[in-house]
Amino acid sequence: MPNHFILRVGDGVNFKNSSKHSTWAVKSRYISFLENVKEPDILWFIENKKTGDLFTGKIIAVAEFVSKNKRDTGPLLSLTPTDDELGWDKLGKYYDVEIHYTNLYNLTDCKLFTGQKNQTTICEYDKIKEGLLLNLIVEYEYISKYSKITKTM
């Protein structure tokens, strides 16, 4: 059974821009996540609370984890996509590990909220599930059954 992880993606703009590459990035300091995430774990992408949101932690997408690798965007030669290629604004120099995923479900129109109160960037669902508004395991079953996989946001 896959583990579920919640990843906060700020306002979601950079995430949406890089979704066509099925790529997101995290800081290497998230050691627990990087050591524990494996294929086919489930990644839930949530936005920060915006004006007008009733709750915190709006879910904008869910996908299956595929792989991770160190970002290598050197000054002369880049072995991984640059921030510009990914459509990121001021993200990459702080986020040094790429996260690759597949089977992306765009949930921006669903108005699903986790209600996650803390501002932690990455959490393991099993460790905080009692405090959330949704059972993400059940939601994922419905989403994967009744929704269509998208390539981009």
> pLDDT digits over 46-76, tens only?
999 999 898 999 999 999 999 999 998 877 7
Domain CATH for 124: 3.10.590
Task: Note the pLDDT of residue 92.
Answer: 59
Instruction: Give a yes or no: residue 153 inside a domain.
Output: no
Q: What is the structure's pLDDT at 141? A: 97
Q: Is residue 99 part of a domain?
A: yes
Q: How many C-beta neighbours within 10 Å does residue 140 have?
A: 19
Does residue 60 form part of some domain? yes
- 103 is a domain residue: yes
Alpha helices (H) along the chain: 13-18, 31-36, 83-86, 125-128, 136-146
Identify whether 152 is part of a domain: no
Q: Is residue 96 part of a domain?
A: yes
Averaged pLDDT for residues 108-134:
93
Domain tally, the chain: 1
- Quick count: other Cβ atoms within 10 Å of Cβ 38? 12
Are 26 and 121 in contact by the 8 Å Cβ rule? The answer is yes
In a domain, 91, yes or no: yes
The number of residues in the chain equals 153
Residue 45: beta bridge partners?
7, 61
Report d(CA 2, CA 28) in Å as an integer.
Answer: 22
Domain extent at residue 36 = 4-146
Dihedral angle at the C-alpha atoms of 67, 9, 19, 133, nearest 10 degrees? 90
Comparing 14-23, 96-105, 113-122, the range with the smallest average pLDDT is 113-122
90 part of a folded domain: yes
Question: What gap in Å lies between CA 41 and CA 5, rounded to an integer?
Answer: 8
**Per-residue pLDDT at 91 exceeds 70:** no
Q: Mean pLDDT score of the chain, rounded to an integer?
A: 93
Residue with tokens 């007008």: 52
The whole-number average pLDDT for the span 79-84 is 89
14, 45 in Cβ contact below 8 A? no
